[in-house]
């Protein structure tokens, strides 16, 4: 695998020189690229498969993910980090075959949660605790694990002196919207995405799941079908959002492609944009605008702050 590491390091350097993307984003992109490369090597029988213990882990995580999707109905983004924490937990407690899960002890679980929480922020530590407790609940119902293990997962207390979420100023928003070149398809598409997130407060998942049928001309609104609360709702669009989306549809969107509102214009032309495509487009725009925050959710915080300052109540 030394050759793969060399390729990965070279790729990181090239990406860092090509465009000013934050280091965290570069690591995410490289990790995804390396994962695809390793899968290709295994399919071509040029690399060995995972050790047996890791293979057992993946089978268990796959069952857990399938249960959470079909029974609990969790969103794809939620299941993504639930799978990640489940894998980390199994590796940390050094479980071998599935039958050895019944040997888990409370101190093993408590040690993992305590050590893992040290490197996380309070909100992330809470997500970790909830994820581990949920995974243990699944193991208790499906694999004979002692339900008392759930009590060994400590829930981080809320920090009363935590700071408010960061928001963008009006000059920051103007700088962000000014970095898009209207003469290219990708920039016009990304500008429409930025307008939806800045003016309507849409999440990345909600933007990626929009279809052409979700644009309601009669009511002048965007229909959100895949929300975090799993409730369909209408969000009235602003004149800026209407202009940006209509310009993209009229001038640049590929005809005969998927029914998704936003599609890809380079690799896999015409295919639907996924959540990570939307997030990556906004992060690159943040970098060009000189916005240091890597959290795309800051656009949603900014809109909420602006609405509250205008007299709209918190609820």
CA distance 93 to 23: 30
Name the nearest CA neighbour of 134 among 189, 181, 211, 81: 81
Backbone angles phi, psi at 272, to 5 degrees: -70, 145
161 in a structural domain:
no
Same domain, 71 and 180: no
174 in a structural domain:
yes
47 in a structural domain:
yes
Question: For the segment 170-201, what is each residue's pLDDT rounded down to a tens digit?
Answer: 999 999 999 998 889 999 999 999 999 999 99
DSSP 72: I
Same domain, 31 and 121: yes
Backbone angles phi, psi at 33, to 5 degrees: -65, -40
User: Where among 152, 178, 203 does a domain terminate?
Assistant: 152
299 in a structural domain:
yes
Residues 6+ positions from 292 with CB-CB distance below 8 Å? none
80 in a structural domain:
yes
158 in a structural domain:
no
Query: What's the rounded mean pLDDT across residues 253-280?
Result: 87
Name beta bridge partners: 260.
Answer: 211
216 in a structural domain:
yes
Name the nearest CA neighbour of 76 among 180, 230, 291, 187: 230
- Domain of 194? 170-309
Same domain, 199 and 106: no
Name the nearest CA neighbour of 247 among 200, 189, 206: 189
Question: For the segment 26-67, what is each residue's pLDDT rounded down to a tens digit?
Answer: 555 566 677 677 777 777 777 665 544 455 678 888 889 988
Query: What's the rounded mean pLDDT across residues 14-22?
Result: 50
Q: Which two tokens stand for residue 34?
A: 């390396």
Same domain, 184 and 298: yes
Query: What's the rounded mean pLDDT across residues 292-299?
Result: 87
Is the whole-model pTM more than 0.75?
A: no
| Structural domains of the chain, count | 2
Half-sphere exposure of 24 (CA within 13 A, CB side): 8
Backbone angles phi, psi at 217, to 5 degrees: -70, -35
CATH code at position 195: 1.10.443.10
Same domain, 131 and 178: no
Same domain, 141 and 198: no
Question: For the segment 59-114, what is each residue's pLDDT rounded down to a tens digit?
Answer: 888 889 988 888 887 877 788 889 999 998 888 876 544 446 767 788 888 888 88
163 in a structural domain:
no
């Amino acid at each position: 695998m030394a050759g793969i590491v060399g390729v990965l390091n070279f790729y990181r350097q090239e990406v860092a020189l090509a465009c000013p993307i934050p280091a965290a984003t570069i690591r995410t992109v490289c990790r995804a690229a390396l994962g695809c490369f390793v899968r290709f090597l295994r399919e071509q029988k040029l690399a060995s498969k995972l050790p047996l213990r890791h293979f057992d882990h993946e089978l268990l995580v796959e069952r857990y993910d399938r249960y959470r999707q079909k029974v609990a109905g969790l969103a794809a983004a939620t299941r993504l980090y639930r799978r990640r924490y489940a894998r980390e937990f199994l590796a940390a407690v050094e479980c071998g075959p599935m039958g050895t899960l019944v040997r888990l002890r409370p101190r093993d679980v408590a040690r993992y949660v305590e050590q893992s929480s040290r490197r996380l922020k309070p909100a992330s530590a809470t997500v970790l605790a909830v994820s581990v407790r949920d995974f243990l609940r699944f193991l208790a119902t499906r694999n004979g694990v002692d339900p008392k293990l759930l009590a060994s997962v400590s829930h981080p207390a809320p920090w009363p002196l935590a700071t408010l979420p960061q928001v963008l100023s009006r000059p920051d928003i103007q700088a962000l919207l000014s970095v898009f070149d209207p003469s290219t398809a990708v920039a016009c598409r990304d500008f429409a995405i930025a307008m939806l997130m800045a003016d309507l407060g849409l999440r990345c998942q909600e933007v990626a799941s929009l279809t052409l049928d979700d644009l309601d001309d009669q009511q002048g609104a965007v229909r959100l079908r895949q929300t975090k609360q799993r409730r369909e709702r209408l969000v009235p669009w602003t004149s800026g959002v209407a202009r940006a989306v209509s310009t993209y549809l009229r001038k640049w969107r590929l005809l005969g492609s998927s029914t998704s509102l936003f599609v890809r214009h380079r690799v896999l032309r015409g295919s639907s944009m996924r959540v990570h495509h939307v997030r990556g487009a906004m992060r690159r725009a943040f970098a060009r605008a000189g916005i240091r925050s890597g959290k795309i959710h800051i656009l949603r915080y900014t809109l909420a702050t602006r609405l509250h300052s205008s007299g709209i109540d918190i609820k």
